[in-house]
Amino acid sequence: MHHDDLHATTGATDRHCRGIARMKYVLVILASYASVWYLVGTLIRGRLADIAEGLRHRPDAPPPGQYLREVEAHARRAHRHYSLFVGTLLALVLALLCFWLG
Residue 14's pLDDT band, with cuts at 50, 70 and 90, is low
* Residue 87 burial (CB count, 10 A): 21
Q: Are 40 and 75 in contact (CB under 8 A)?
A: no
CA 57-59-62 angle, 5° bins: 90
pTM of the model: 0.76
Q: What is the pLDDT of residues 20-65, one digit of tens each?
A: 767 889 999 999 999 999 999 999 999 999 999 998 888 898 998 9
Q: Is 5's pLDDT higher than 80?
A: no
CA 71-74-75 angle, 5° bins: 80
